[in-house]
Amino acid sequence: MKTRLITKLTALWLIAGASICQNSFQVSADESDKSPAMLSKLHLGDYRGRVWELDEFNDKAVLVVAFLGVECPLAKLYSQRLVELEADFAAKGVAFIGVDANPQDSLSELAAHARRHQLEFPLLRDPNQELVSALGAKRTPEVFVLDAQRRVQYHGRIDDQYGVGYARTAPTRSLLRDAIEAVLAGRELLVKHEPAVGCLIGKPKQKNAASSDAITYSKHIAPIFRDACVHCHRAGQIGPFPMTEYSEVAGWAEMIAEVVAERRMPPWHANPEHGQFANDCSLSSEQRDLVARWVAAGAPEGDPADLPAPRQFVEGWQLPRQPDLVLNVSPEPFSVPATGEVQYKYFRVDPGFTEEKWVSSAQIIPGNHRVVHHILVFVRAKGSRGDLGGERGFLFGYVPGAVAQPYPSDAAKRIPANSELIFQIHYTPIGTPQVDQSRIGFIFADPDKIKREVMTTSAVQVRLNIPPQAADYAVEAMLPESLPDCELLGMAPHMHLRGKSFRYTAIQADKSRQILLDVPHYDFNWQTAYRLAEPLPLAAGSKIYCQAAFDNSAGNLNNPDPTARVRWGDQTTDEMMIGYFDIMVARGAGAP
C-alpha cells in the first residue's frame, strides 16, 4: 500500500523526452507464438539523457529486458528481485535493462525509482511505446529473456512470489532465473511463457474535448473518482498513485477499468444483502459501466469546465480538521531489517495528560506504508504492567485499508487522567532495509458535549486448530459477557493469511437474531472497519456471535504452508479470529 508525492507529466518534459528518446526497432515476429522471435535494433534514452544501442550488449550471452512502472506496487517489489538476479549473473555474461513506457511516469520519477531501489542496470524510457509494441509487453513487471542472437526465449512473469492480492514468503517457481540458466547452458526451456501479473502498461491518451454526448473524464468520471477513490488516491495516502488530475488518471485508465470490472477497487467486501454502511465505497453497476465505456472510448478528457469541485481534505490527514495533538509512535525512527521475522515492537509514550481526555477522532499514520502491517494503541495507567489484551479491544488502530472515521458529535473515546499510551507495531520486511517513524493525531472533544462513550470490544476464538489442507475450516465465537444497553456503531473482522469469510450476528435479549455483517470473501490486504449507516440499539443482555472460515489449502495463494497445522499466534503465518466491534454506552455507565 505505498504512496508518494507524484511529479506531474508536463509539456516541457514531453519535449525534452522526445529529444533524447527517439526510438527505432527492428523485430521479426513468430506468428504462431504471437511474440517476437528476435530483436535486431534498439535506440532508447535513459532518465539521464544517455541513449543506449543494442550493440552495446554484444558481449553478453543473455539480455534481459524488464518492463517496469514507478508506481506499480508489484513492479516496486520486483525491482529488488531484479537487482539480486543481476548481481547473481553479472559474471556469467548476462545484462539487464529496465524499460518504462507509462505515459504518466516522468523522468524525475524514473530517477527516483532507480535511486530508491539501487538499480545499477540502465532504466530506459519508451515514450512512443515502440518497444512495447515490438515485444508485445502488456504489464509491469514483465520480462523478456533474449539469447546471444537476441531471440526471445522466455517472456512473462519473474516468479510467483507476488501476485494480485497475495504475497508468499518465497517463490515456488523461479521462472526468470530458470530461463536465464537454461539459455546460458544451451538447454531447451521447459517454460517459454508465463503470463505476467501486475499493472497494465498505460496507453498514450489525447486530451480531446469530445462531443457533448460522449462520456468524458471531466463530466462523468471525475465525480465518481472524487467520491469513491481520492480519499486514498492522493498525496500522502495509501493509494499507489493520485487520482486528482486527468494526466495521471488517463495513464492508468486501462488498469482502472480492469480493477473496477473485477470489483477489486474500490475495496469493499461486505455482502450487500446484510446491513447498510456509512463508509460503503463500492461502485454501482451504472458507475462501473460508465468507467468501462470511458476507457473503451480512449479516456477522453472533455471540457475541464465540467469538473466537479474538488474534495477538501486536511493536508496529510483523513481527519475532519488538523489534530489537536500529534505524537510519534516511537521515540526514534525504527530500522526494519531487509529480511527475517520481526517480533511485535512495543513503545511506551507519556502524552502528559493530567486530566481526562475525550477523543472524537484519531488517526495513526504509518511512516513507511511498505513495512508497517498494523499498529494498535492501548491506554494504561502509568507504570502498569501485564497483558494488554489486544484481542479484546484497543483505543485506536491502523491496518491496511483503514480510513479515519469521526464518532457522532456527542460520542467519544475516553483516556483517563495520568494514563500512558502503549503502541504495538507489527513490521514486515520487504527485502531491503527500511526505516519507519509513525505518528498518531488526536482531535479532542468538549467534555461537556459528550453524552455517550465509545468502547471497542470483541468476540474472539483463540482455540484454533486448523488442519493441513483444510479448505473450509469453520470456527465460531461469542461475546463472553452480555452487553449493557448500548448502540452498535461498527464492526472490524480480523484474520490472517488463511482467512476466508466472516459473519457477525446480533442475538438480542429476546433471543431474536439479525445478521449484521457478512464478508463472504475476506481479504487480508484490506481490513475494513464497517461503520453502520445508523447505530443499532442493543438491549441489555444482547450478545454478538461471530462465525469465520479459514482456507488452509494450496488453492489459497496467500497460504504460506498448506502442510502446516495452524494455531493462534501473533505472526501473519499464524492465525487469529477476532470480531472487533464498537459500541456506544451512556457516559458513566462503565465498561461492559
Would you say 97 and 122 are in contact if contact means Cβ atoms under 8 Å apart? yes
Q: Is residue 210 part of a domain?
A: no
Q: Which pLDDT value is given to residue 208?
A: 55
% of the chain surpassing 70 pLDDT: 92
For 542-567, what is the mean pLDDT?
95
Q: What is the C-alpha to C-alpha distance for residues 236 and 145, in angstroms, rounded to an integer?
A: 37
Compute the residue count for the chain.
Answer: 592
Domain containing residue 510: CATH number: 2.60.120.230
Q: Is 319 in the same domain as 443? A: yes
Q: What is the grid cell recorded at 572?
A: 501473519
Q: What is the grid cell recorded at 478?
A: 461469542
Q: Is residue 410 part of a domain?
A: yes
Query: Is residue 157 scored above 50 in pLDDT?
Result: yes
% of the chain surpassing 90 pLDDT: 73
Would you say 371 and 432 are in contact if contact means Cβ atoms under 8 Å apart? no
Q: What is the C-alpha to C-alpha distance for residues 375 and 400, in angstroms, rounded to an integer?
A: 10
Tell me which residue of 498, 506, 482, 484 sits closest to 579, measured CA to CA: 506
Tell me which residue of 163, 165, 164, 189 sits closest to 176, measured CA to CA: 189
Q: Is residue 3 part of a domain?
A: no
For 390-405, what is the mean pLDDT?
86
Q: What is the C-alpha to C-alpha distance for residues 450 and 359, in angstroms, rounded to an integer?
A: 10
Q: Is 181 in the same domain as 235? A: no
- Its domain, for residue 194, covers 11-200
Q: Is 466 in the same domain as 410? A: no
Q: Which pLDDT value is given to residue 20?
A: 29
**In this structure, how many other beta carbons lie within 10 angstroms of the beta carbon of residue 371?**
22
Q: Is residue 362 part of a domain?
A: yes
Q: Which pLDDT value is given to residue 197?
A: 94
Across 139-143, 219-223, 316-320, 563-567, least confident range = 316-320
One-letter identity of residue 11: A
Q: Which pLDDT value is given to residue 60?
A: 96
- For the stretch 405-446, pLDDT in tens is 999 999 999 999 999 999 999 998 877 789 999 999 999 999
Q: Is 456 in the same domain as 445? A: no
Q: Is residue 49 part of a domain?
A: yes
Q: Is residue 54 part of a domain?
A: yes
Show Cβ contacts of residue 93 under 8 Å, excluding neighbours closer than 6 positions.
Answer: 59, 60, 61, 62, 184
**Which of 151, 175, 200 is the last residue in one of the domains?**
200
Q: What is the grid cell recorded at 120?
A: 545499477
Q: Which pLDDT value is given to residue 279?
A: 93
Query: Is residue 565 scored above 70 in pLDDT?
Result: yes
Confidence class for position 370, pLDDT limits 50, 70, 90:
confident
Confidence class for position 456, pLDDT limits 50, 70, 90:
very high
The total domain count for the chain is 4
Q: Is 228 in the same domain as 164? A: no
**Which of 289, 306, 323 is the last residue in one of the domains?**
306
Q: Which pLDDT value is given to residue 391?
A: 83
- For the stretch 322-355, pLDDT in tens is 999 999 999 999 999 988 888 899 999 999 999 9
How far, CA to CA in Å, does 25 sit from each of 22, 42, 61, 124, 131? 10, 5, 20, 14, 7
Query: Is residue 23 scored above 60 in pLDDT?
Result: no
Q: What is the C-alpha to C-alpha distance for residues 573 and 558, in angstroms, rounded to an integer?
A: 10
**Residue listed under C-alpha cell 452498535:** 488
Q: Which pLDDT value is given to residue 592?
A: 58
Question: In three state form, how does the secondary structure of 10-61 look?
Answer: CHHHHHHHHHHCCCCCEEEEECCCCEEEEEEECEEEECCCCEEEHHHHCCCC
Q: Which pLDDT value is given to residue 387?
A: 79
Q: Which pLDDT value is given to residue 541?
A: 94
For 569-575, what is the mean pLDDT?
90
Across 187-201, 312-326, 384-398, 476-490, least confident range = 384-398
Do β-strands 434-436 and 452-460 pair in parallel, antiparallel, or remain unpaired?
unpaired
Across 202-206, 482-486, 488-492, least confident range = 202-206
Higher pLDDT, 481 or 140: 140
Q: Which pLDDT value is given to residue 321?
A: 94
Q: Is 301 in the same domain as 323? A: no
**Which of 168, 200, 232 is the last residue in one of the domains?**
200
Q: Is 246 in the same domain as 108? A: no
Confidence class for position 486, pLDDT limits 50, 70, 90:
very high
Confidence class for position 576, pLDDT limits 50, 70, 90:
very high
Higher pLDDT, 470 or 24: 470
Q: What is the C-alpha to C-alpha distance for residues 424 and 96, in angstroms, rounded to an integer?
A: 41
Q: Is 221 in the same domain as 330? A: no
Q: Is 378 in the same domain as 456? A: no
Show Cβ contacts of residue 209 under 8 Å, excluding neighbours closer than 6 positions.
Answer: 216, 300, 301, 302, 303
Q: Is residue 328 part of a domain?
A: yes
Q: Which pLDDT value is given to residue 213?
A: 60
Averaged confidence pLDDT in the chain? 89
Q: Is 323 in the same domain as 190? A: no
Q: Is 328 in the same domain as 393? A: yes
Query: Is residue 10 scored above 60 in pLDDT?
Result: no
Query: Is residue 384 scored above 50 in pLDDT?
Result: yes
Domain containing residue 112: CATH number: 3.40.30.10
For 359-375, what is the mean pLDDT?
92
Q: Which pLDDT value is given to residue 207?
A: 56
Q: Is 175 in the same domain as 196? A: yes
Residues facing 143 on adjacent strands: 66, 156
- For the stretch 91-103, pLDDT in tens is 999 999 999 999 9
Query: Is residue 212 scored above 60 in pLDDT?
Result: no
* Burial of residue 102 (number of CB atoms within 10 Å: 0-12, 13-18, 19+): buried
* Burial of residue 60 (number of CB atoms within 10 Å: 0-12, 13-18, 19+): middle
Would you say 221 and 250 are in contact if contact means Cβ atoms under 8 Å apart? no
Q: Which pLDDT value is given to residue 390?
A: 80
How far, CA to CA in Å, does 60 sit from each of 38, 177, 467, 492? 15, 16, 50, 54
End-to-end CA distance of the chain: 36
- For the stretch 65-111, pLDDT in tens is 999 999 999 999 899 999 999 999 999 999 999 999 999 898 999 99
Confidence class for position 590, pLDDT limits 50, 70, 90:
low
Q: Is residue 52 part of a domain?
A: yes
